[in-house]
Structure 1
C-alpha cells in the first residue's frame, strides 16, 4: 500500500509545484499589465490636461475699477471738477496677458449706482474705454450710453415698505447695477498686444458705489465644446489618448517579440547571400582533373555543373570522371597534337566555387623550393611525374 502511494504523492507534488508556478506567473503578468494600464491612464490624463491648459484661454477675467477725479476746482453743489477716470491693467500678476490672439472677447463695465435723487435726475451719460499697448499708444476705443433704470414713485414706496427689514438690518441696499457693454467682439492684435485700458465716465454729476471690468471669452468651434461640455470632452480626450498610447505600446511589444523569434542577423545574411548570388556571372563551371599517363598527359573534362550543385554532387561527378578516364586510357596515343590545344583550353572562366576546390589538390613542393625550379628548367617531365594544373579565372 505504501509502495503504491509513493508515485502518487510524487505526482501530486509535481502537479502542485506546476500549479504554483503557473499561478505565480499569472499573478506577475496581471500585475505588470495593471501597472502598464495605470501608467497609460495617467499619461493620457496628463496629455489632455496639458492640451486643455495650452489651448483654452482665460474664460472670464474680472478687475475692479477705481475711478479718480479732481477736487481742486471748489465748485458748489454735487458736481465734480473732472470726469471720473480709471486705468485698468490687462496683465495678470503684472506679466501674464489676459487676452489670447485670435479669440473674440466681450468687454463690459458694471456700475453700482445708488438710487439717489442726483442719479435719478442725471439722465443719460457716456462711458468711454480706450485700449492701449506698450508706450501708451491707443489701438482701440469705444463709447456707450447708459442710465439708471426708471422706477416710479409708487414702485419705490412699495419696494421700501416690503424690504424695510432688510434695509434696516443692512442685508440689502437701495441701489441698481448697470452693465454697459463696451466691446461685443474684441479681437487681440498679435502685433500690438493690449496691456491696459482707460475707462472714463463723461459726466460730473454722478454717484458711484463701485465698478468692475468684466472680460468674457466668446468661444466657437472646439473651444465651445470644451467649455460647455467639459465632462464629455474630458472623457473623449482621455479615451482617445489612452487608445493611441495602447496601440503604440502593443506594436512595440509585438516588434520586440518578433525580433526575438526572428532575429535580424539571419535575415541580413540571407539578403546579402541573395545579392551576392545575383552579381556572380552565370557561366558553366568546368573542372579539370589530370591523371598521369604513360608517355603523355591528358586533361579530362568533367561535365559542367552549376555553382549550387558543386558541393552536393562532388562525389558523383568525380566518380563519373574517373570512370570515363579509365575507359579512355587505351586511346592515349591519339592525342599527340591535341594535347597542347587541350592545355590551352583548360584556362577557361570558372566560378568561385571551382577555386575553392583547388584546396583538394596538394601543391607541389617545387613551388616552395626555388632551387628545384631552377634545376627543372628546360627538362621534359618524366613519364612517372604527375602534372597538376591550377584553375585560373580569365577576365573574359
Structure 2
C-alpha cells in the first residue's frame, strides 16, 4: 500500500506540473497572439494612413496640367457693305468652382487658330491677336498681343500639292487649311488677390477668315511638381516611405508609452510572484500528503520533523487543512 500511494502521489505531482506548464504555455500563446494581432493591425492601419496622406497631398499639391476650351469668335456685320464692322472677339469664362490656376505656379497660355488657305487670308498678311485677363470684378490684370500670318506657299508648290492631294480633297478627308498656334503667355503667375476668371480674345483685323479657335492653358511644372509628374512611382515610394517612417515613429512611442519598462517590469514581478506561490503551494501539498501517509503508519514525530524540514509551521498546516 505504501508503494502504491507513493506512485499515486508522484503521478499527481507530475500531472499538476504538466497542467501548470500547459496553462502557462497557453496563456503565453494567447498573449503573443493578441500582441501580434494588435501589431499587424497597427502596421496595416499605418500603411493605409500613409497612402491616404500621400494621395491627399498629391491631389492638393499638383495643379491641373491641361485646360482646353473652345473660343467662339463673334462680330457685328455691316449692313451696307460685305465684311465685318468690328474686330472678331471672344469671351471665355474660366471655372468658378475653385481657381483654375494655383498661386505661385507658372502657366503657358496658347490660342490655336484654324485658318483657310484662301486668297483673302493671303492678302491680309500679318494680323494681331490680343488676349486680356480680368478678375471677377472685371478689373484688367494683364494683356498680351501676338502677331501671326499664314505660312507662305509658292504657286508651284501649291499646284503640285493640290494635284497629289486631290483624292483626299475630293473625299473630304483633307482640307486646304493651316493650323496656327500662338503663345500668348509663356510664364504667367496668378495673383492671389486677383484670381483670373475671364479671358477676352480679339483679332485686330476686319478681313481675316477663321474656321475655329481654341484656348489651352498648360502648367509649366518645375521642382517637386516636375518630379512627381514625370517619376510618379519613385515619388510615390519616397512619399509613402516618409509617411511610414513618421507614423512608425509615432506608433513606437505610443507602444512604449502603453507597454513601457515599468509595466513590463510589473508584469515580470507578478509572474515571478505567481511562480513562487505555486511552488509554495506544491511544497505544502507534498508536506500534507507525506504527513497523512505518516499518520497512517502511526509516526507523528516523523511528520513533525518532515514539516520542520519543509519550512512550514504547524499553524500553516492547520490553516491549509481548514
Could you tell me the TM-score, scaled by structure 2's length? Answer: 0.69
Q: Decide which of 186, 189, 214 is 2:191's aligned counterpart.
A: 189
Alignment correspondent of 1:36: 42
In the aligned structure 2, how far is the partner of 1:96 from the partner of 1:73?
43
In the aligned structure 2, how far is the partner of 1:134 from the partner of 1:236?
40
Which runs of 5 or more residues in structure 1 are unaligned?
A: 264-396
Query: More helix per residue: 1 or 2?
Result: 2
Deviation of 1:23 (Å): 6.3
Alignment correspondent of 2:52: 46
Deviation of 1:70 (Å): 0.4
Deviations 1:134-163 (CA, angstroms, capped at 9, x unpaired): 332212111110111222233333433444
Q: Over aligned residues, Cα RMSD in angstroms?
A: 3.0
Deviation of 1:14 (Å): 8.8
8 A contact 2:78–2:84 mirrored in 1: no
Alignment correspondent of 1:243: 245
Alignment correspondent of 1:80: 84
8 A contact 1:75–1:81 mirrored in 2: no
8 A contact 2:108–2:185 mirrored in 1: yes
Name the SS for the 2:130 alignment partner.
strand
| Cα gap change, 1:122 to 1:72, in 2 (>3 Å) | closer
Name the SS for the 2:110 alignment partner.
strand
Name the SS for the 1:134 alignment partner.
coil
Could you tell me the TM-score, scaled by structure 1's length? Answer: 0.57
Which 4+ runs in 1 deviate beyond 6 A? 9-24
| Cα gap change, 1:261 to 1:32, in 2 (>3 Å) | closer
Higher relative contact order (CA 8 A, sep 6+): 2
Is 1:147 equivalent to 2:153 in the alignment?
A: no
In the aligned structure 1, how far is the partner of 2:158 from the partner of 2:84?
28
Alignment correspondent of 1:57: 63
Matched residue pairs, number? 255
Name the SS for the 2:49 alignment partner.
helix
In the aligned structure 2, how far is the partner of 1:230 from the partner of 1:105?
21
Alignment correspondent of 1:180: 182
Deviations 1:323-379 (CA, angstroms, capped at 9, x unpaired): xxxxxxxxxxxxxxxxxxxxxxxxxxxxxxxxxxxxxxxxxxxxxxxxxxxxxxxxx
Q: Decide which of 215, 218, 221 is 2:220's aligned counterpart.
A: 218
8 A contact 1:101–1:190 mirrored in 2: yes
